[in-house]
Amino acid sequence: MRIAVVALGKIGLPLAVQFASSGHDVIGVDVNQKTVDTINAGVEPFPGEAHLQERLAELIPAGRLRATTDYSEAIPGADAVVLVAPVFVNDETWEPDFRYMDSATRSLAEHLTRGTMVSYETTLPVGTSRTRFTPMLEEGSGLTEGVDFHVVYSPERVLTGRVFEDLRKYPKLIGALSAEGTRRAREFYEAVLQFDERPDLGQPNGVWDLGTTEASEMAKLAETTYRDVNIGLANQFGLFAASHGIDVYKVIEACNSQPYSHIHRPGIAVGGHCIPVYPRLYLSTDPDADIVRVARQLNASMPERLVAQAEGILGDLTGQRAVVLGAAYRGGVKETAFSGVFPTVEALRSRGAEVVVHDPMYTDEELRGYGFEPYAMGAEADLAILQTDHAEYRDLAPADLPGVKLLVDGRNATDASRWAGTPRIVVGTAA
Inter-residue contact 283 to 125 (CB < 8 Å): no
Q: Where residue 430 falls among pLDDT bands split at 50, 70, 90? A: low
CA neighbours within 13 Å on the CB side: how many for 172?
A: 25
Inter-residue contact 116 to 138 (CB < 8 Å): no
Q: Where residue 47 falls among pLDDT bands split at 50, 70, 90? A: confident
pLDDT tens-digit profile of 150-186?
A: 999 999 999 888 999 999 999 999 999 999 999 999 9
Distance CA 118, CA 130 (A): 12
Last residue of a domain, one of 168, 194, 211: 211
Distance CA 292, CA 224 (A): 11
Q: Are residues 289 and 186 in the same domain?
A: no
Judged by DSSP in three states, 89 sits in strand
Q: Are residues 107 and 28 in the same domain?
A: yes
**Catalytic residue ranges:** 220, 274
Q: Are residues 225 and 199 in the same domain?
A: no
- pLDDT score of 311: 97
Distance CA 6, CA 27 (A): 9
Q: Are residues 244 and 105 in the same domain?
A: no
In DSSP terms, which residues pair with 156 in a beta bridge? none
Given 3-state DSSP classes, what are the helix, strand and coil percentages for the chain, each rounded to the nearest 5? 40, 15, 45
DSSP annotation of 127: T
Q: Are residues 171 and 254 in the same domain?
A: no
pLDDT at 273 over 90: no
Last residue of a domain, one of 190, 211, 232: 211
Distance CA 232, CA 240 (A): 12
How much is the average pLDDT of 375-380? 97
DSSP annotation of 173: E
How much is the average pLDDT of 316-331? 97
CA neighbours within 13 Å on the CB side: how many for 428?
A: 25
Q: Are residues 202 and 107 in the same domain?
A: yes
Distance CA 28, CA 12 (A): 8
Residue 79's domain is classified under what CATH number?
A: 3.40.50.720
Inter-residue contact 207 to 187 (CB < 8 Å): no
Reference 430, options 251, 271, 295; nearest CA is 251
pLDDT at 431 over 70: no
pLDDT tens-digit profile of 304-320?
A: 999 999 999 999 999 99
Sequential DSSP letters for 177-206: SSHHHHHHHHHHHHHH------TTSSS-SS
Distance CA 187, CA 43 (A): 31
CA neighbours within 13 Å on the CB side: how many for 328?
A: 19
Q: Are residues 130 and 244 in the same domain?
A: no
Helices (H), 194-277: 213-243, 248-255
Q: Are residues 152 and 221 in the same domain?
A: no
DSSP annotation of 374: B
Could you give the number of structural domains in the chain? 2
Q: How many percent of the chain have pLDDT more than 70?
A: 100
Q: Are residues 235 and 355 in the same domain?
A: yes
Q: Are residues 147 and 279 in the same domain?
A: no
Last residue of a domain, one of 170, 187, 211: 211
In DSSP terms, which residues pair with 183 in a beta bridge? none
Inter-residue contact 158 to 11 (CB < 8 Å): yes
The set of residues, in sequence order, having a beta carbon less than 8 Å from that of 144 and lying 6+ positions away, is 138
Question: Integer distance in angstroms from the first to the last C-alpha of the chain?
Answer: 60
Q: Are residues 202 and 338 in the same domain?
A: no
**Structural domain harbouring 37:** 2-211
Q: Are residues 141 and 156 in the same domain?
A: yes
